Chain A
Amino acid sequence: MKALRILLIKALRILAAALTALRRNVLRSGLTTLGIVIGVGAVIAMMEIGNGSSSAIQKTITSMGANTLMIFPGAAASGGVSFGAGSTMTLTPQDCDAILKECPSVRAAAPVIRSRNAPVIYGNKNWVPSEISGTTPNYLSVREWPLSEGAAFDDRDVRNSARVCLIGQTVVRELFQGQSPIGQEVRLQNVALRVVGVLDKKGANMMGRDQDDTLIAPWTTIKFRISGTTTANTAAAAQAAGTSTTTQRGALYPGSAQGIYAARSATQTKNSPMPVRMISVDSISVAATSSEEIKDATTEMTGLLHERHHIGEADVDDFNIRDLAEISKALSSTTTMMTNLLLVVAMISLVVGGVGIMNIMLVSVTERTKEIGLRMAVGARGADILRQFLTESVVLCLAGGAMGIGLGRGSSYLVSKILHWPTLPSLGAIIASVLVSASVGIIFGFYPAWKASRLDPIEALRYE
Chain B
Amino acid sequence: MNLIELRDIRKTFYLGEVVLPVLKGISLDIAKGEMVALTGASGSGKSTLMNTLGCLDRPTSGDYALEGEEVSRLSNDARARMRNLKLGFVFQNFNLLPRTTAHVQVMMPLLYGAEYISQKEARARAETMLVRVGLADRMDHQPSQLSGGQQQRVALARALINRPSLLLADEPTGNLDSQTTREVLALFKQLNDQDGITILIVTHDPKVAASCRRVIRMADGLIEADEITAGGPS
Residues of A whose CB lies within 8 Å of any CB of B are 6, 9-10, 13-14, 17, 20, 24, 370-371, 373-384, 457-458, 461
Q: Which residue of B lies closest to A3 (CB)?
A: B116
Residue contact A13 to B54, C-beta cutoff 8 Å: no
Give, as a whole number of angstroms, the nearest-CB distance from B88 to chain A.
8
Contact of A380 with B119 in the complex, beta carbons under 8 Å: no
Q: Do A458 and B76 contact each other (CB < 8 Å), given the known contacts A9-B118, A377-B56?
A: no
Query: From residue 114 to 141 of chain B, which have CB atoms closer than 8 A to chain A?
Result: 116, 118-119
Contact of A378 among B51, B76, B108, B116 (CB under 8 A): B108
In the docked arrangement, what's the CA distance between A375 and B83, Å? 10
The tally of CB-CB contacts under 8 A between chains A and B is 71
B89 close to A377 (CB less than 8 A): yes
A379 touches B77 (CB 8 A): no
Partner of A380, one of B51, B80, B95, B98: B80
Complex contact B111–A17 (CB within 8 A): yes
Which residues does chain A contribute within 8 Å of B51, judged by CB atoms? 458
B interface, CB within 8 angstroms of A: 51, 54, 56-57, 76-77, 80-81, 83-85, 89, 91, 95, 97-100, 104, 108-109, 111-113, 116, 118-119, 158-159, 162
* Chain A residues touching B, majority SS: helix
Q: Which residue of A lies closest to B77 (CB)?
A: A381
Given A20-B100, A24-B99, A461-B95, CB of A380 within 8 Å of CB of B112: yes
User: In the bound complex, do residue A6 and residue B116 qualify as a contact, i.e. CB atoms below 8 Å apart?
Assistant: yes
**Alpha-carbon separation in the docked complex, A374 to B95 (Å):** 7
Whether B112 lies near A381 (C-beta < 8 A) is yes
Contacts of B108 in A (CB 8 A): 375, 378
Contact B112 A375 (CB under 8 A): yes
Report yes or no: B80 in contact with A20, Cβ–Cβ below 8 A: no
A sample of 17 inter-chain contacts (CB < 8 A) reads A9-B119, A13-B119, A370-B95, A371-B95, A374-B97, A376-B83, A378-B89, A378-B109, A378-B112, A379-B84, A379-B109, A379-B162, A380-B111, A381-B80, A382-B77, A382-B80, A384-B112
Q: Name A377's contact: one of B83, B85, B100, B162 (CB within 8 Å).
A: B83
Contacts of B100 in A (CB 8 A): 20, 24
Q: How many angstroms between the C-alpha atoms of A320 and B108 in the bound complex?
A: 79
A305 to B181 alpha-carbon distance, docked (Å): 106
Q: Assess the B89–A371 pair: CB atoms within 8 A.
A: no
**How many Å from the CB of A29 to the closest CB on chain B?**
13
Nearest-CB distance from A210 to chain B (Å)?
Answer: 73
**B83 lies within 8 A of A379 (CB):** yes
Distance of A381 Cα from B80 Cα, bound (Å): 6
Contacts of A10 in B (CB 8 A): 116
Besides A378-B83, A383-B77, 19 new A-B residue pairs in contact (Cβ under 8 A), listed by A number: A10-B116, A20-B100, A24-B97, A24-B98, A371-B95, A373-B95, A374-B91, A375-B112, A376-B80, A377-B54, A377-B89, A378-B84, A378-B108, A379-B83, A379-B84, A380-B80, A381-B81, A382-B80, A384-B111
Contact partner of A379 (CB less than 8 A), chosen from B85, B104, B118, is B85
Q: How far is the CA of A10 from the CA of B113 in the complex (A)?
A: 10
